[in-house]
Structure 1
């Protein structure tokens, strides 16, 4: 994604004045007056960033209020985000199963209400690990579903006849900038709010954010569905006439069994098409690599316990570390887009893994206290270490997005891309679970950090394990990149930068 391109569409003095009044607060990512869909998209991604306000609160609540050990916290938080691993299912439901006659608006309204209920329940009622897990999963499902629906709205805007060549890049920039703005704002306030008011109070504040999605969703101009959506056919026939997906011509609901049969048939067709495409070697092996790249264990939760219990970091300090991480993530995106996007994918993945491993081992200095011997305070070292590792991590993640987008064939690109991202999320879930298991196996607890250095070493070195799988990537992935970047045969920064 590229930085925003400010554009101003002048269609007469009256139109310009109206547009100016409507979009004074919204970055000018697209030409013309702000459409309600753009406001809804921006708010969905802004809320995704703002929900980061609760991340530190969840850790503090599980650690201090429920008294869980590092391994349990790592497993519970990773399981709480498991709904992100089934994103294609949300897309299918939104496309094939209208709610109250709408495929976008109603789902966003529902997601906002469910998310607000989940975080509100955490603030008022959650008192056991099982309750927290259930509510975290419910909140994650609402956010993931809203993300998929917002992406669908973006696709629909791009396919409009009025869309131009730069519309896709501009909309992606809007999504990225909105989420980053929310992420930075939440990181800035998270530590002080948890320290001053407590975790439950932060959960209550977080509950208000999803309601922004609900409020914006009702403004989306969407025509009520009175005919079956594409791809949904009535049971027992390949004909597009008659009932389908529970709807008949003229807008009358079909019989329940016909609606059910149509949805099931559509799901089977979509699954068969996805499997036929995904099992091709040029897609299957890169998918295996994407999963394996993310599936290595992490020691993040154990390090958080060490920083709070051993080093005495207060929530305010942890909030500053999150803020530095959010800013460093933006820097990583910029570094990749402006300096490294022309580097072949295999090369950048290989060297980021090696560099990330070397820099990741610097955490041992904090664990063993070597940084203090060098005159560096724990807080300063943690801030600097977070900045470096986050930049490198973002640079390593960007090629995965490029890889996933590049191997998706035309016709199933949206579904396959969502599936690949779900595989990536599944890999991260497995990595967190493996890290939780290693933490428990090595006996690292909230009071015992004797084996923390070994845990950090094992988790950091494990990042090198997927490197042999780089050979699974088809050679034409890099060749396609070189052709795309070179265009007329020239390369380098002097050429035109293409949307990614």
Structure 2
């Protein structure tokens, strides 16, 4: 009797377990297999461009260690430099207008891709020459700035071209020549956006550990030269991609002229001795981008405009949260003993978790109200700064002694948890743009939205710069670092929450 009851109980338990497994698979099947099902051979060359963009992380560890060891730049200097390096991303509307309307040698796509790859390659050569000492026409700090500008501008060109191509790889007609249903086309457009972000994350993941290994065993100069493989991959993708016939149109001089005027203003202010040049450029750029966005979104229904504007504003606030800056990295090197290999481990951990989150959670993010998604991301982001606070206060000594959890374990958990947040925050807005952008202005739409998000990063770097000036941190001088971390945590919580509370009814 007892054996029979036990057999029945075990059978019932197995049935419940099987039902639980089926339910779990039902939840995961769509997010896990959705991107695979959405993949088409025609998308692969385009995705190679995004993969190459992520793979530029191959030089990140070598770059960080070379700057600390060889350049006379403080964390505040580097945050200030990051502002200028981010500004080309805010001028994407100029390049996007050219890509949409001006052909070079008969090409509105591939010619620009070649230019972008050439600029990235040139920047990597200058970086290698500065590190190796065989380019000495200027101080290493100035060569570093030139190299970074070349890489950044080339990356901007490549991304503008890729964003313009992404809707054009989606077929608009069936094999028999009949038009495809609009719902199917819209679904594929959104899928390409997801696949593009996944490809970027795959590229970053594939080179994460390798970046640390190469920086550890090779000269930094050699690592920068190996990085030349990255623009070669993106160039191959651009040359092989097959596109749907594009919509040709004339130049919109209000967009192009406004962008050129903005770029000229930024350049003049940057060359001037005006103390608040960066802040002035940021405000002028923000006003210009918002005006241009208002112009291109004018044909949309009012409720769609309000929804997109509110989502953009909240995501802007989320991405404008300051970072800890390079001072924290230097603290990790000097006080925590993190070397190049471990920074490579951190990089592959962060990109790997980010890739998994993009793969598994994007569908859930798209299907849920943006306000709920962004509120949860905000709370998580603020919470996940706490491990950094523990490390700068030396709590890792106690956790290692009592729990066997040292600084490296805490840093790994912190990196793994934080990495997906910024990627996931932009998904709702990108999906809206993919669906509502007019065919003849897709590159301009993507570029303007990306410019706005880039301005959020400029705001983040500006706040980071001022916090690093207020709480001065430098090589070997980390007394102010705990106060800096507390200030960043407060900003990470208050800035997005204030925007969400103010705009939640419009989203």
- In structure 2, runs of 5+ residues without a counterpart are 1-29, 175-179, 260-288
Give 1:350 deviation, angstroms: 2.0
Matches within 5 A, 1:478-497: none
> What TM-score do you get using the length of structure 2 for normalisation?
0.74
Give 1:291 deviation, angstroms: 2.5
Q: 1:436 pairs with 434, 456, 465, which one?
A: 465
Q: 1:304 pairs with 324, 329, 333, which one?
A: 329
Q: Which residue of 1 aligns with 2:115?
A: 110
Q: Deviations over 1:455-479 (max 9, x none)?
A: 00101110222322224436363xx
Partner of 2:478: helix, strand, or coil? coil
Segment drifting more, 400-409 vs 70-79:
400-409
1:192 lines up with 2:213 in the alignment: yes
Matches within 5 A, 1:397-436: 397-399=426-428, 401=430, 415-436=444-465
Q: Which residue of 1 aligns with 2:498?
A: 468
Q: 1:448 pairs with 477, 498, 503, which one?
A: 477
1:88 lines up with 2:93 in the alignment: yes
Segment drifting more, 187-196 vs 369-378:
369-378
Q: Aligned partners of 1:60 and 1:269: how far apart in 2?
A: 39
Q: Which residue of 2 aligns with 1:497?
A: none
Partner of 1:131: helix, strand, or coil? helix
Give 1:73 deviation, angstroms: 2.5
Question: Is residue 52–residue 233 contact of structure 2 (8 Å, CA) maintained in 1?
Answer: yes
Partner of 2:384: helix, strand, or coil? helix
Partner of 1:448: helix, strand, or coil? coil
Q: Which residue of 2 aligns with 1:387?
A: 416
Change beyond 3 A, Cα 1:382–1:205: same
Give 1:427 deviation, angstroms: 0.9
User: What is the number of equivalent residue pairs in this alignment?
Assistant: 421
Give 1:312 deviation, angstroms: 1.7
Change beyond 3 A, Cα 1:332–1:222: closer
Higher RCO by CA contacts (8 Å cutoff, separation 6 or greater): 2
Question: Is residue 52–residue 200 contact of structure 2 (8 Å, CA) maintained in 1?
Answer: yes
Q: Aligned partners of 2:255 and 2:424: how far apart in 1?
A: 38
Give 1:50 deviation, angstroms: 1.0
Q: Deviations over 1:158-194 (max 9, x none)?
A: 2532467253345335423432221111112011101
Q: Aligned partners of 2:37 and 2:367: how far apart in 1?
A: 28
Change beyond 3 A, Cα 1:201–1:48: same
Question: Is residue 332–residue 338 contact of structure 2 (8 Å, CA) maintained in 1?
Answer: yes
Change beyond 3 A, Cα 1:50–1:179: same
Partner of 2:227: helix, strand, or coil? helix
Q: 1:60 pairs with 42, 65, 69, which one?
A: 65
Q: Aligned partners of 1:183 and 1:398: how far apart in 2?
A: 18
1:368 lines up with 2:398 in the alignment: no
Q: Which residue of 1 aligns with 2:172?
A: 160
Q: Aligned partners of 2:113 and 2:469: how far apart in 1?
A: 39
1:201 lines up with 2:222 in the alignment: yes
Q: Aligned partners of 1:106 and 1:79: how far apart in 2?
A: 26
Give 1:408 deviation, angstroms: 6.4
Change beyond 3 A, Cα 1:412–1:476: farther
Segment drifting more, 89-98 vs 352-361:
352-361
Q: Which residue of 2 aligns with 1:258?
A: none
Question: Is residue 292–residue 448 contact of structure 2 (8 Å, CA) maintained in 1?
Answer: no
Q: Deviations over 1:12-66 (max 9, x none)?
A: xxxxxxxxxxxxxxx78545xx44xx34312211211111111222212221121
Give 1:340 deviation, angstroms: 5.1
Q: Which residue of 1 aligns with 2:154?
A: 142
Q: Which residue of 2 aligns with 1:352?
A: 377
Give 1:294 deviation, angstroms: 1.8
Q: Aligned partners of 1:338 and 1:320: how far apart in 2?
A: 28
Q: Deviations over 1:124-163 (max 9, x none)?
A: 2465222212221221121221122122222122253246
Q: Aligned partners of 1:447 and 1:300: how far apart in 2?
A: 15
Give 1:287 deviation, angstroms: 3.6
Question: Is residue 4–residue 170 contact of structure 1 (8 Å, CA) maintained in 2?
Answer: no
Question: Is residue 109–residue 215 contact of structure 1 (8 Å, CA) maintained in 2?
Answer: no
1:378 lines up with 2:407 in the alignment: yes
Q: Aligned partners of 1:343 and 1:221: how far apart in 2?
A: 34
Question: Is residue 298–residue 460 contact of structure 1 (8 Å, CA) maintained in 2?
Answer: no
Q: Aligned partners of 1:150 and 1:355: how far apart in 2?
A: 31
Q: Aligned partners of 2:32 and 2:240: how far apart in 1?
A: 27
Partner of 1:161: helix, strand, or coil? coil
- In structure 1, runs of 5+ residues without a counterpart are 7-26, 233-261, 478-500
> What TM-score do you get using the length of structure 1 for normalisation?
0.75
Q: Aligned partners of 2:70 and 2:317: how far apart in 1?
A: 35
Q: Which residue of 2 aligns with 1:259?
A: none
Q: Aligned partners of 2:447 and 2:167: how far apart in 1?
A: 13
